[in-house]
Structure 1
Amino acid sequence: MWGCVMYATVADLEARWRTLTSDEQARAGVLLEDAAVRLDALCAPSVPPTSQELASRLIVSCEMVKRAMVTGSSGSGGLGVTSVQQGAGPYQETVQFSNPTGDLYLTKADKALLGCGKQTAFTVSMAPDPAPVTLVWWPL
């Protein structure tokens, strides 16, 4: 990509989730690049990043990609499903996915791990700056 630093590899994702098919590996590689760009845009690391920041970004990158890939994947085992309704007659079933479009996003837990998105307090003085003080020395 454009000199982007990826925080996780496909092997990292597989170690934290499951073995991927070759098609899934190709998609995961692209999504991991996208996740790195989003992380840098939403929560910029320090320069140079600390080992804690890099470890956090690895975990969050994998979680973001897993959330994006789990929706609609065969054999997902119900992961990514928030609601299931079934009926007996006229044979109805409804499944609602938590991320139906497969978006990459940060959860509150991700933001907490990254240390971004926190509220900060500051003050802004509404009074004009006082006139500069000039010291005049009078000879004795």
Structure 2
Amino acid sequence: MYATVEDVEKRCGCSLSLDEIDWCRSLLEDAAVIVDTYGRNASDDAKKVVSCNMVVRMIRNNTDQDVPIGASQGTISALGYSQTWSLGSGSAGELYLTKLDKKILGCGNRIAFSGPFVED
């Protein structure tokens, strides 16, 4: 793991419950796998920032906030009970990397990220 539960709490600006702490640790482990897949050669600081970003999005999407984190468009109606959200990248309920996360890891907006003549 590149980030700790305390790092996530600082970024969220809240204290997590005991159940949320266990969930957060599990998310941080999963985020580390995803981060390593995209940014194996990124710095530890970059991996920490991206891991925190991913987990904070997930935690905030599962709270009782009015607008999900990562929503690019939204619609709210009143008496017709309508509510629609469009998520920019990824979706609620999964860990995902944004374009910024990929840039931080050093793999965003490249035409060819790896090839037969590229050394890892």
Give your verdict on TM over 0.5.
yes
8 Å Cα contact 2:50-2:101 kept in structure 1 = yes
SS of match in other structure, 1:37: helix
Q: Which runs of 5+ in 1 are unaligned?
A: 1-5, 47-52, 125-140
After TM superposition, the structure 1 stretch with the greater mean CA deviation from structure 2, 63-72 or 10-19, is 63-72
Does residue 13 in structure 1 map to residue 2 in structure 2? no
Displacement after TM superposition at 1:87 (Å): 3.0
Query: Residues 77-112 of structure 1: CA distance to partner in whole angstroms, max 9, x if unpaired?
Result: 524244132133xx4231426323x11111110111
Counterpart in the other structure of 1:135: none
More helix by share: 2
Supply the distance in 1 between the matched residues of 2:86 and 2:8 (Cα, whole angstroms).
Answer: 21
Displacement after TM superposition at 1:7 (Å): 0.4
Does residue 55 in structure 1 map to residue 45 in structure 2? yes
Normalised by the length of structure 2, the TM-score is: 0.75
User: Residue type matched to 2:77 in 1?
Assistant: Q
Counterpart in the other structure of 1:65: 55
Q: Which has the higher contact order (CA 8 A, sep 6+)?
A: 2
User: Residues 16-27 of structure 1 correspond to what in structure 2 (within 5 A)?
Assistant: 16-17=11-12, 18-27=14-23
Q: Which runs of 5+ in 2 are unaligned?
A: none
Normalised by the length of structure 1, the TM-score is: 0.66
Supply the distance in 1 between the matched residues of 2:16 and 2:27 (Cα, whole angstroms).
Answer: 14
Supply the distance in 1 between the matched residues of 2:58 and 2:41 (Cα, whole angstroms).
Answer: 23
Instruction: Give 1 or 2 for the bigger CA radius of gyration.
Output: 1
What is the root-mean-square deviation in Å for CA atoms of aligned residues?
2.3
Fraction of identical pairs, as percent: 35
Query: Residues 49-91 of structure 1: CA distance to partner in whole angstroms, max 9, x if unpaired?
Result: xxxx1111111001111112222322x3524244132133xx4
Question: Which residue of the other structure, out of 67, 73, 80, is the alignment partner of 1:78?
Answer: 67
SS of match in other structure, 2:15: coil
